[in-house]
Amino acid sequence: MKKSIWLALMLIAALVIGACAAPAAPTTGEESSGGSEAAPAAAGVSEFHPAWPYQPTPTGHFNTFVTNGIPLGIYQDLMEPSLFMYMWADASWVPLAGQSWEWTDDTTLTVKLIEGAQWSDGTPFTSQDVVDTFDIARLLSQTVWNFISGVEAVDDTTVNFILSEPSTTVPRRVLRDTRIRASSVYGDFAARVRELVDAGKTKDDDEWKNLVQEFNEFRPDDMVVLGPYKIDPASITESQMILNKVDTSYWADIVKFDRMVNYNGETPVVTPLVLSGDVDYATHGFPPATEREFISQGYRIIRAPIYGGGAIFLNQKVHPFEMKEVRQAMAYAIDKVENAFVTYADSGKPPICMCGFSDNLTDLWLSEDVKSQLDPYTQDLAKAEELLTSVGFTRDSDGVWIDDQGNRMEYELKVAAEYADNAASAENAADQLTEFGIKTSVRGVNFNQIPIDVNEGNFQLAIRGWGAGNPHPAFSYEIDLTQYNAFFSGVGSGSGAVGSVDSPGMYFDLNVSTDSVGDVNLADLMQAASSGGDVEPQKEAIGQLALAYNELMPQIPLYERYGNNPVPSRFAAGWLPEDDPIYKNSP
C-alpha cells in the first residue's frame, strides 16, 4: 500500500520521479549562466531539483487556500496530499491520504483513510482534517459544494461525503481536486464556518463575507504537512527554497530524496538552470529555440498532453467585444496552425473542435452529429471581413477597422511578460490581427499581476489558459466560463458571490441566446454536465455546451499545448519509457 501511495505522490512531483534512482548530489554546485545561482548540495545528500514559481515571503505565505499561498503547484501533493490520484490510462484510483473508497448508496461516497499517519506538528491525521478542509472549501464557495451537501466523520478513519444528487464527477472533485490540510492550522476557521451554516447563514450574508475576508488575511507561521516533504521557511529566498524530508511522515521510509531544492522563477530565469543541468524537471513553456538547445545537449523532452492551451480572453464590457460576430471574426483572422508552431513547435497543435475542451477527448464525449456542426475556425480573412461588415463595421483609410460606434479597432493585448510561450503566442496573434485591420499592441505584465488584472476587468484583451487536465469536459468549461468571469459566476470574487463589481472578469453573461442550441443558461448546462449517475445525459449537456461555445467564442483558443518538459539526468535518472501509460496524465 505504501509503495503505491508513494508512487502516486512522486508522479505528481515529476511524472515518474517515484521510479527514479536518485544519485547522491555532487559536493559542490555549479554556478548557472544566468537567473539564480544553483544550490550547492551537501555531501552524501540526495536531491531532486524542480522549478516552480512562487512569491517569496512576506508576499508569499503558508495559507495555501488563498492568493499568494506557496503550495508549489504540482508539488503540493508532496506536502498536502489529496485523497487519491486518478490514472487516465486505465481509469483507476491510486491511494494517497485515502486508503479506499466506495459508494455506500447513490448519494453517499465513503472514504477510508490511511491509518497511523501524522502531521509534521505531531498531531494525528484523522477524518476531522478532511471535514475541516471541506468546510473551508465551503467558506470559499469552491465548486465542489455545488455537488455535495455535507461531509461527515463516521470515525477517526472514515469519512462520508453526502451528495446533493447522484453525480459521476464527485469522485474527481472530492478524491483528487481537494488537497487535505491540517485541522491544527485551519480547524478554528472550519468550526466557525459550521456555526454560520447552523445559523442558516450563506455566502450572501455579511457574517459570511466578513469571515471570508478574515480568512483571506490569515497567515500561518508555517506549513503543517502530511506528506514526506516540508518547506524550510528559513530557506526561502527570491531564487530558491528547500523542502526537507519529514522523518515522521507516513511515507518517510519510501522517499528517494533527502531534500528537494525548488528554483523560483518563470521561463527566462529557469532556462539557464535547465541548460546547466541544475534543474531536473521543469514544466515551463519553453520556446522552440530553447527546446532545440535542450535537444542539442542530449536532453529528453517529455511531451505529455496538457488537455488545454492558450486563448485570447476578451473583456466584454469593452465594446464591441460583447458582439459574437466580432469574436468570431477575430477567430477567423488568426492562423492557429502558425500560432501553435511559433509558440511550441512540435508541442503546439491548432485546436480543431474550438469547443472549449481538448481535441483528445472529443470522440469520447461528442456525438458525430455535434462534431459535424463544430467550426474549426480555419483562417478565412474573407469570412472575417464579411462578419464585421454584416454588423456595420467599415475600414478607415489606413485599413484599420472602425466599429459601429465610429471607434477605430485599436486594442492592447496583455500577456505575462515572464511566460516566453505566452509572449510568443501574443506577438504572433497581435501581428495577425493588426494585418487584418484590428490594430493590436502587446503589453507584458508581471505573471503574478495578470490574473488580478483580468479578474478585476483591467484589460481589453489578455492571454490566459483554456481547458483543464481532467478527463471530464465539465471541468474545462468551469475553467473557460467561470474562472475569469466572477461577475456572472462568483468564482474568483472575494466573497464567492455573483454580481461583484470588484471582479467583473471577462464579463461574459452565462444566459445566452444562440442559433445552435437556442436560449440556454450555460451555468445550468455545466451543472447538468456534472450531475447524475448516467453519463449519457451528461454527454447531451456537454454537446450543447460545445455547440454554444463554438458559436459564441467566449474566448478564442489559439493552440492546444503538449508538454515540452526537459529532463536532464544530473540528480535523477530512470525516467519511464515513452510508451508508459503514466504519460496519459497531464504533467
Q: Which of 297, 296, 243 is nearest to 39 (CA)?
A: 243
Q: Which of 543, 480, 544, 538 is nearest to 517 (CA)?
A: 544
SS3 of residue 237 by DSSP: coil
DSSP string, 293-350: HHHHTT-EEE--EEEEEEEEEE-TTSTTTTSHHHHHHHHHHS-HHHHHHHHHGGGEE-
Between 27 and 339, the higher pLDDT residue: 339
Q: pLDDT for 238-271, tens place per residue?
A: 999 999 999 999 999 999 899 999 999 999 999 9
Q: Place 21 in a pLDDT band, splitting at 50, 70 and 90.
A: very low
Q: Give CA–CA dist 523/531, Å, rounded.
A: 12
Confidence (pLDDT) at 493: 52
* Per-residue cell: 163: 451528495
CB atoms inside a 10 Å sphere around CB 390: 10
Q: Which of 144, 146, 151 is nearest to 127 (CA)?
A: 151
pLDDT(34) > 60: no
* Per-residue cell: 369: 452529429
Confidence (pLDDT) at 33: 33
Domain-wise residue ranges, the chain:
1-73+232-303+566-587, 306-562
User: Cα-flanking dihedrals φ and ψ of residue 566, to 5°?
Assistant: -75, 145
The CATH code for residues 1-73+232-303+566-587 is 3.40.190
pLDDT(17) > 50: no
> 259-263 and 229-231 as β-strands: parallel, antiparallel, unpaired?
unpaired
Which are the contacts of 275, defined by CB distance < 8 A and separation ≥ 6? 33, 293, 294, 297
Confidence (pLDDT) at 500: 62
Which range among 1-10, 92-101, 109-118, 501-510 shows the weakest confidence by mean pLDDT? 1-10
pLDDT(62) > 90: yes
Q: pLDDT for 533-578, tens place per residue?
A: 899 999 999 999 999 999 999 999 999 999 999 988 666 677 888 8
| Amino acid letter, 227 | G
Residue 398: HSE in the Cβ half-sphere, 13 Å Cα cutoff: 8
Q: Which of 178, 157, 8 is nearest to 80 (CA)?
A: 178
SS3 of residue 472 by DSSP: coil
Q: Does domain 306-562 have CATH number 3.40.50.360?
A: no
pLDDT(4) > 60: no
Q: pLDDT for 66-98, tens place per residue?
A: 989 999 999 999 999 999 999 988 889 999 999
Percent of the chain, pLDDT > 90? 82
Q: Place 28 in a pLDDT band, splitting at 50, 70 and 90.
A: very low
Which range among 120-134, 185-199, 296-310, 401-415 shows the weakest confidence by mean pLDDT? 296-310
pLDDT(496) > 60: no
* Mean pLDDT within 207-219: 96
| Amino acid letter, 170 | V
Confidence (pLDDT) at 22: 34
Q: What angle do CA 61, 202, 213 make, to 5 degrees?
A: 25
pLDDT(31) > 60: no
CA 232, 233, 235, 238 dihedral sign is: positive
Between 44 and 465, the higher pLDDT residue: 465
Q: Give CA–CA dist 70/60, Å, rounded.
A: 6
Q: Place 9 in a pLDDT band, splitting at 50, 70 and 90.
A: very low
Confidence (pLDDT) at 492: 57
Confidence (pLDDT) at 579: 87
Q: What is the mean pLDDT of the chain?
A: 91
pLDDT(523) > 50: yes
Q: pLDDT for 348-395, tens place per residue?
A: 999 999 999 999 999 999 999 999 999 999 999 999 999 999 999 999
* Mean pLDDT within 313-324: 98
Confidence (pLDDT) at 38: 53
* Per-residue cell: 155: 470515525
pLDDT(520) > 50: yes
